[in-house]
Amino acid sequence: MVDVASETPVRRISNAYQNWYRFSRNPTAVIGALIVTLVVLAAILAPWITPYPEHVGAVVNFRARHLPPSAEYWFGTDNVGRDIFTRVIFGLRISLLLALVVLGTAVPIGTMLGLLAGYFGGWVEIVIMRLTDIALAIPPLVMALAVTAVLSPDLVNSMLAIAALWWTWHTRLIYSITRQLRTQEFVEAAETLGASKFHILFREILPNCVSALSVKTSLDAGFVILVGASLSFLGLGIQPPTPDLGTMVASGSAFLPDYWWESVLPGCAILVVALGFNLLGDGLRDLFDVEDVR
Amino acid sequence: MTARPMLELVGLSKHFPVRSPFGRITGAVRAVDTVSLTIPRGGVYGLAGESGSGKSTIARMIMGLTRPTAGDILLDGENITGQAGTRAYGRKVQMVFQNPGSSLNPRRTIGQSIAVPLEAHAYPRAGRAARIGELLDMVQLPADFARRYPHELSGGQKQRVAIARALAVAPKLIVLDEPTSALDVSVQARLIDLLVDLGRQLELTYLFISHDLSLMRNFAEEVGVLYLGRIVETGPTASVFEHPAHDYTRLLLASVPVISAEEEAMRPRIELIDGEIPTAEKLLARRQASHLPQDP
Amino acid sequence: MSEALLSVRDLSVEFVTYGQTNKVLRGVSLDVPAHSQVALVGESGSGKSVTMKAIMGLLRSPPARITGGQLLYDGRDLQTLPHRERLKLRGTSMSMVFQDPMSSLNPVFTIGDQMGTILKYADRRLGRVRSGRERQARVQEVLSQVRMREPERVARSYPIMLSGGMRQRVLIAMALLSEPRLLIADEPGTALDVTTQAQILKLLKDLVEARGLALMMITHNLGVVRETSSYVYVMNKGVVVEHGPTAELFAAPRDAYTQALIAAVPRLTGGTRFGRREAIP
């Protein structure tokens, strides 16, 4: 005997449809998603969509040096005659790789530590959270400067340096969410039903962190790219001739203001990528209705 | 047939320490103060009280979520006070929480939520889906609800799911912590119907915690009235309601909003103090004062 | 019928969400005569809160849209009234007692500050002039009307320093500040303990009777209806299904929904039989 109909019926509007509806009416989110998609596609397809893929390496063509933007060279050429547009598109690859690797290590580590500290409390919480406080006190850029100064200035080391500090933000975020969820009745219910700690952490609490995590990660991608570009600008990141946006801004800045395109256009590329991730993050925040995420 | 009770609380107490600003323990709040009660197998015991009476703390101690300061909890004759939190424990006692909105994980389907106790107690994987369907059927929900998420359900339906989840491990005792206080009255009536039917079919024992005396009158066989951590009056429901002995019970009964003249006639009369219905503290203080010997 | 203080005529409201239209009120009519206590009772989704919000002009549009009907207050049509005129009525001649004593008060201001501010704006809308001292005197006068024993101390308190029952009294006092003729009470006391709720309901009833106010009580609790109101409208799914004097209607409901609703209420005298019952339409 099944009898549900008489109770207040809840209209089934699918979650996906609701989300899509709200997303499509949120211009910030749509623009952000569009920029990010374009950037990612451009980076992946770089060898096929760029006019001079061979200009990625140490090509020298003095007859074409310092040419202003034109139909032939969209973003102009640099001091050794390479196409800047090609190098910007390839530069996106490095920036995205940086974001992927840094966040790919920092997010799982930070999430894990946050879950443990928030759920278990006691000395686990004290150890993890004090460690987090210490790490938070060091600015990532200073840390990266120190690491690359001690080791050698290259991409791997700068990624290492940034990742070594970035997890703290995620630990903090997940810690505060877990603390709130720990006393929720559904978590207590799982405890009284005999569920394992593993189950409670990863099946009950973690799924409720996903929306906040995706907002945070999207916002962070923009920041990591900015920090990476700053390092390269200072000569501590990716070494030439590999095309990197920060390095290009730095080397182009020597020829300001006459050959402005050599530094300004790669700079604009950094701006657009960082903006795209930020808009997407803000849009996701509105969509998921998560607060307290920077 | 033995006369062994299903649940017995013996002198159960919970004191929360009060600390000075420097962290020194300066005293204790007696949230629960030497509470003793007995529920026979298949019985329904109602624990009535307002906020701060300690009724939720008692539920949490029975569930093993809070450790008692003193006293024993005997389940089916076995002392389970020390077993709190173990898996064997969860098999015997289950709880239905007050708030249907937060007792189910919003990110997991109904089926996944009901599967939690099955997984925890190693129910054979192959039979789980069928068992979930069976449990949903027991609470009169269609089997395809297993694929839905909590936000697609009404409050009453969520509470049914919470009951199904509690039944999954075939517990002996179910603690009902204000299971209907967030529901509409017609939905409440149908949920209580369900609990009564399930109780008869499965010979369940209920500890029913509520502030709703009208509901308690019709659901519980025995009641205990809790005030500031102590049971001030206990007995068969009908006799406590018809002949309340303690002032606090009388005040509680007098405060219930009723819908008929018969009920109104049954409510005790409480003397107004300064034109107002007195608070419990005031009423009890006055009673104490009147018992004191007069000055010569 | 036209002598009613508040009269709702054939009110229809729909909500547009996610591109779908829901008719939440379908031709609701009700009257609140001056000096009378009327209750609007219904379960969640019945439309009682929407009706109340439409009267107070609190419906957000979008998603809500009034598609038909009239709201008459003191013979004037609220919907065609200029915005300024309508603001003059709200919080002054028709006043509202809110449900949640915690979230309806701002935690960072004292009770006296908050009530003083409300009074200041009410005065400004009505073109009255009052000094700060006069306002505080009025605040304390109203606080003592809701039987607060030490109105000066209460006025100096922050919301967190008061118990739930005291906060609910403050909310009632706030509604009384500008000498209203109609009080609209939205589930007062439901968040409180039974004994405190009983005190609040008695206070509200005494105040309304002593001052000759009209009361419109919005609630889901049939007991509260009987304690406070002499006339009742029962709503279900956006329609008034039945109305009449409270005692008569509760004793002999005619509508099938009302009958099932009343049968579902557990009785203090016992005898409500649970288990295997008829479904409620």
Q: Contact A124/A281 with Cβ under 8 angstroms?
A: no
For residue C281, the chain A residues in CB contact (below 8 A) are: 6
A8 vs C45, C279, C281: nearest CB: C45
pLDDT tens, residue order, chain C (281 aa): 447 899 999 999 998 877 788 889 999 999 999 999 999 999 988 999 999 989 988 888 778 889 989 999 988 888 888 888 888 887 778 888 887 767 788 888 899 999 998 888 888 888 888 888 999 999 999 999 999 888 999 999 998 889 888 999 999 999 998 889 999 998 887 878 889 999 999 999 999 999 999 999 999 999 999 999 999 999 999 999 999 999 999 999 999 999 999 999 999 988 777 776 544 44
Residue A71 has pLDDT above 70, yes or no: yes
Delimit the domains of chain A by residue range: 26-288
Burial class for A194, CB neighbours closer than 10 Å (0-12, 13-18, 19+): buried
* Residues near C60 by beta carbon (within 8 Å), at least 6 away in sequence: none
Residue in B193, B257, B266 closest to C221 by CB: B257
Q: Helix axis angle, A185-192 relative to B110-120, nearest 10°?
A: 30
pLDDT number for residue C2: 47
pLDDT of residue B213: 92
Ranking A49-53, A126-130, B92-96 by mean pLDDT, the lowest is A49-53
pLDDT recorded at residue C250: 94
- pTM of the predicted model as reported, rounded to 2 decimal places: 0.82
| Contact criterion met (CB < 8 Å) for C44 and B184 | yes
How confident is the prediction for chain A on average, in pLDDT? 82
Which CATH number is C113's domain given? 3.40.50.300
* Number of folded domains that form chain C: 1
What is the least distance, in Å, from the CA of A208 to any CA of chain C?
Answer: 24
Map out the domains of chain B as residue ranges.
Answer: 7-18+27-291
Taking the CA of residue C180 and the nearest CA in chain A, the distance in Å comes to 37
Tens of pLDDT, residues A150-167? 887 777 787 788 888 888
Among A19-28, B64-73, B111-120, B256-265, which stretch is predicted with the lowest mean pLDDT? Answer: A19-28
Half-sphere exposure of B210 (CA within 13 A, CB side): 25
pLDDT band at A133 (very low <50, low <70, confident <90, very high): very high
| Cα pseudo-dihedral B101, C192, C187, B225, rounded to 10 | 90
Specify if C271 maps to a domain: no
Cβ-defined contact of C280 to A6 (cutoff 8 Å): yes
**Contact assignment for C43 to B215 by CB distance below 8 Å:** no
Mean pLDDT for chain C overall: 88
What are the chain A neighbours of B104 within 8 Å (beta carbons)? 186, 189
Q: Which of C194, C221, C223 sits opposite B211 (nearest CB)?
A: C194
User: Which of A175-179, A187-191, B269-273 shows the highest mean pLDDT?
Assistant: A175-179
Which of B96, B62, B95 is CA-nearest to residue B79? B62
> Which structure tokens are listed for B229?
């951590």
Selecting from C18, C45, C281 the residue whose C-beta is nearest the C-beta of A13 gives C18
Does C45 reach chain A within 8 Å, measured CB to CB? yes
Residue A207 has its nearest CB partner, among B103, B107, B155, at B107
Assess C280–A contact: CB distance below 8 Å, yes or no.
Answer: yes
- Is the Cβ of C210 closer than 8 Å to some Cβ of chain B? no
Q: Which residue of C has its CA nearest to A18?
A: C18
Average confidence (pLDDT) over A268-292: 83
What integer pLDDT is reported at residue A14 of this predicted model?
60
- Answer yes or no: do C266 and B215 touch at CB < 8 A: yes
* Nearest CA-CA distance, residue B66 and chain C, Å: 24
pLDDT of residue C143: 94
- Please, which contacts does C52-59 make with residues 24 or more away whose CB atoms are closer than 8 Å? C52/C184, C52/C186, C52/C216, C52/C218, C54/C8, C54/C11, C54/C13, C54/C25, C55/C6, C55/C8, C55/C94, C55/C184, C55/C216, C56/C90, C56/C94, C56/C96, C56/C184, C57/C86, C57/C90, C59/C13
Tell whether ipTM is more than 0.90: no
Check CB contact under 8 Å for C44 and A8.
yes
> In a mutagenesis test of the A interface, which of C15, C16, C17, C237 is the best target, namely the one with the most A β-carbons within 10 Å?
C17
A21 neighbourhood in chain C, CB within 8 Å: 18-19
Indicate if the pLDDT at residue A13 is higher than 70.
no
- Whether C278 maps to a domain, the answer reads no
Residue C168 lies in a domain: yes
Residue A9 has pLDDT above 50, yes or no: no
- Return the partners of chain A (3 or more C-beta pairs < 8 Å): B, C
Confidence of residue A5 (pLDDT cuts 50, 70, 90): very low
Q: What is the pLDDT, as a whole number, of residue A124? A: 92
Q: Per the CB < 8 Å rule, is C279 touching A3? A: yes
Provide the token pair at A245: 């946006």
For helices A140-150 and A155-182, the axis angle rounded to 10 degrees is 140
The whole-number pLDDT of residue C40 equals 95
Contact A17 C18 (CB under 8 A): yes
State the Cα–Cα distance between residues C269 and C273, nearest whole angstrom: 12
Residue A35 to chain B, least CA–CA distance (Å): 29
- Alpha-carbon distance of B171 to C278, in angstroms, equals 29
Q: What are the DSSP E strand ranges found in chain B? A: 7-19, 25-39, 44-48, 70-75, 78-79, 93-96, 173-177, 205-210, 222-227, 230-236
| Closest-approach residue (CA) in chain B for A192 | B90
pLDDT at position A50 over 70 = yes
Q: What pLDDT shows up at residue B25? A: 79
- Residue C1 counted as domain residue: no
Chain B contacts in chain C segment 148-207 (CB below 8 A): 193-199, 201-203, 206
Question: Which whole-number Å values give the CA distances from A94 to A43, A97, A273, A276, in the listed order?
Answer: 9, 5, 12, 16
Mean pLDDT, range B173-201, rounded to an integer: 91
- Tell which A residues from 175 to 214 touch B, by Cβ distance under 8 Å: 184-186, 188-196, 199, 203-204, 207-208, 210
* 3-class secondary structure, C10: strand
Residue in B64, B94, B140 closest to A3 by CB: B140
The verdict on a CB contact (< 8 Å) between B65 and A188 is yes
Of B45-59, B79-93, B142-156, C63-77, the one with minimum mean pLDDT is B79-93
B241, B254, B259: residue with CB nearest C223:
B259
CATH superfamily of B7-18+27-291: P-loop containing nucleotide triphosphate hydrolases (3.40.50.300)
Count of Cβ atoms closer than 10 Å to residue C239 Cβ: 16
Distance from CA of C53 to the nearest CA of B (A): 21
Answer whether A3 sits within 8 Å of C18, measured CB to CB.
no
Contact B154 A193 (CB under 8 A): no
Q: What is the pLDDT of residue B293?
A: 53
Provide the token pair at B194. Answer: 């369900």
The neighbours of chain C, by the rule of 3 or more Cβ pairs under 8 Å, are: A, B
pLDDT-based confidence at B146, cuts 50/70/90? very high
Interchain CB distance below 8 Å, A6 and C279: yes
C62 touching A, CB under 8 A? no
According to CATH, the superfamily of the domain at A26-288 is MetI-like (1.10.3720.10)
**Enclosing domain of residue C149:** 6-264
Note whether C131 contacts A: Cβ–Cβ < 8 A: no
At residue B79, what are phi and psi to the nearest 5 degrees?
-75, 115
**pLDDT level of residue B88 (50, 70, 90 thresholds):** low
Nearest residue, CB atoms, B260 vs list C201, C250, C275: C250
